[in-house]
């Protein structure tokens, strides 16, 4: 998917919502456990009910991988089921030397046709570039994450006072463009998103951490939006586990719509 196609979809739906698919056998409604593939049935129902409000879906690969080969099959089915006009993110946090990254890229971009994959920057250019060589596919590079451990290394300042996440943002802009490179920018630090926006004015940001992880949507929009929106704000548990009963998909729909309505106002206000 191209950047302009993504932006069109954001305008059409008045939404920049990404729904995170973290399907956990211990958390999905009990009645699904008798289905032949409970995780697929769960994701399918969530996607059907939220597709009007979401511009992106982000399967968290660990949740599928934890189920072994079977989980991998389910992941392929889920990826296939997501409507083609919606942006898909393989949240895999991959990153290895060139040869190996190329194989990860093939797994997600060719075997499964994801639009994007999340990548860790620690190993540098040759671990990221192989993902950038696929037409209309995207790298979403970890820049500033929202977890407590983000403070261990990402904020370390170099001699000139530049934090590591800033080096990642600057350096990686030599490898990719706003047409094929996004960044993960955590939402629990409203003011920091503004700083990151200055460093990468045109790139899309994938913002986790709104909802359960505690970020504020209006702050994210205020500090992070650019003229093409430039934001995909993710919510996982707040949507997919809104109810653990038979009405789980309808409950997910209500939560997704709630966020979309907030987003509509924010798009009108800041875009």
Measured from the CB atom, is 5 or 126 closer to its own copies? 126
Q: Are 226 and 197 in contact (CB under 8 A)?
A: yes
The site that binds its own copies (CB under 8 A) totals a number of residues, namely 57
Q: Which is nearer to its own copies, 66 or 261 (CB)?
A: 66
Residues in the chain: 271
93 flagged as catalytic: yes
Q: Which stretch binds its own copies (CB under 8 A): 48-56, 139-147, 221-229, 255-263?
A: 139-147
**Axis crossing angle, helix 164-172 with helix 190-199, rounded to the nearest 10:** 30
* Binds its own copies by CB under 8 A, chosen from 98, 178, 190, 194: 98
Q: Which of 52, 158 has the CB closer to its own copies?
A: 158
**Applying CB under 8 A, which of residues 9, 14, 50, 60 lies at the interface with its own copies?**
60
> Which residues in the 224-243 window bind its own copies by CB under 8 A?
none
**Using rule CB under 8 A, residue 152 touches its own copies:** yes
Q: Which stretch binds its own copies (CB under 8 A): 2-10, 29-37, 98-106, 192-200?
A: 98-106
Pairing of the two strands 54-59 and 17-21 = parallel
C-alpha pair distances (Å), 92 with each of 23, 119, 139? 14, 7, 11
Phi, psi (degrees; rounded to nearest 5) at 189: -125, 80
Contact at 8 Å (CB) between 147 and 138? no
Q: How far is the CB of 128 from its own copies (least distance, A)?
A: 8
Among 4, 147, 177, 244, binds its own copies (CB under 8 A): 147
Under the criterion CB under 8 A, does residue 171 sit at the interface with its own copies? yes
Instruction: Give SS3 for 33.
Output: helix
Residue 36 lies near its own copies (rule: CB under 8 A): no
Q: Which of 77, 93, 195, 264 is catalytic?
A: 93
* Interface pick for its own copies out of 15, 41, 116, 145 (rule CB under 8 A): 145
Q: Which of 147, 146, 97, 150 is closest to 119 using CA atoms?
A: 97
Query: Is position 104 an interface residue for its own copies (rule: CB under 8 A)?
Result: yes
Is residue 253 within 8 Å of 50, Cβ to Cβ? yes
CB of 103 to its own copies, least distance (A): 4
List C-alpha distances in Å: 15 to 57, 170, 207, 210.
13, 28, 14, 14
Of the ranges 7-15, 40-48, 58-66, 245-253, which one interacts with its own copies (CB under 8 A)?
58-66
| 58 binds its own copies, rule: CB under 8 A | no
Minimal CA–CA distance to 262: which of 12, 52, 48, 53?
A: 53
Closest C-alpha among 151, 115, 154, 114 to residue 136? 115
Residues 18 and 53 sit within 8 Å (Cβ to Cβ): no
The distance of closest approach from Cβ of residue 14 to its own copies in the complex, given in angstroms and rounded to an integer, is 30
H or E element in which residue 232 lies:
strand 231-235
DSSP bridge partners of 66: none
As annotated, the active-site residues are 93
List residues near its own copies by CB under 8 A.
22, 60, 62-63, 65-66, 68-73, 76, 91, 93-101, 103-104, 106-107, 111-112, 120-128, 142, 145, 147-154, 156-159, 161, 164, 167-168, 171
């Amino acid at each position: 998917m191209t950047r302009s196609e993504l932006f069109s979809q954001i305008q059409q739906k008045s939404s920049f919502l990404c729904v995170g698919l973290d399907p956990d056998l211990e958390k999905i409604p009990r009645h699904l456990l008798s289905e032949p593939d409970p995780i697929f049935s769960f994701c399918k129902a969530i996607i059907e009910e939220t597709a009007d409000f979401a511009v992106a879906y982000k399967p968290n690969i660990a949740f599928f991988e934890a189920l072994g080969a079977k989980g991998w099959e389910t992941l392929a089915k889920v990826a296939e089921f997501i409507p083609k006009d919606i942006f898909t993110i393989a949240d895999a946090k991959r990153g290895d030397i060139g040869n190996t990254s190329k194989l990860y890229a093939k797994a997600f971009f060719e075997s499964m046709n994801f639009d994007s994959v999340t990548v860790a920057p620690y190993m540098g250019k040759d671990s990221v570039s192989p993902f950038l060589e696929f037409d209309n596919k995207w790298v979403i590079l970890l820049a500033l994450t929202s977890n407590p451990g983000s403070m261990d290394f990402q904020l370390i300042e170099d001699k000139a006072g530049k934090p590591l996440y800033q080096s990642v943002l600057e350096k990686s802009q030599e490898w990719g463009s706003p047409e094929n490179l996004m960044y993960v920018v955590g939402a629990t630090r409203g003011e920091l998103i503004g700083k990151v926006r200055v460093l990468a004015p045109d790139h899309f940001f994938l913002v986790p951490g709104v909802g359960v992880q505690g970020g504020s949507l209006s702050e994210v929009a205020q500090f992070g939006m650019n003229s093409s929106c430039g934001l995909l704000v993710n919510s996982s548990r707040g949507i997919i586990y809104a109810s653990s009963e038979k009405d789980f998909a309808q409950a997910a729909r209500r939560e997704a719509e709630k966020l979309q309505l907030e987003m509509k106002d924010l798009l009108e206000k800041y875009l």
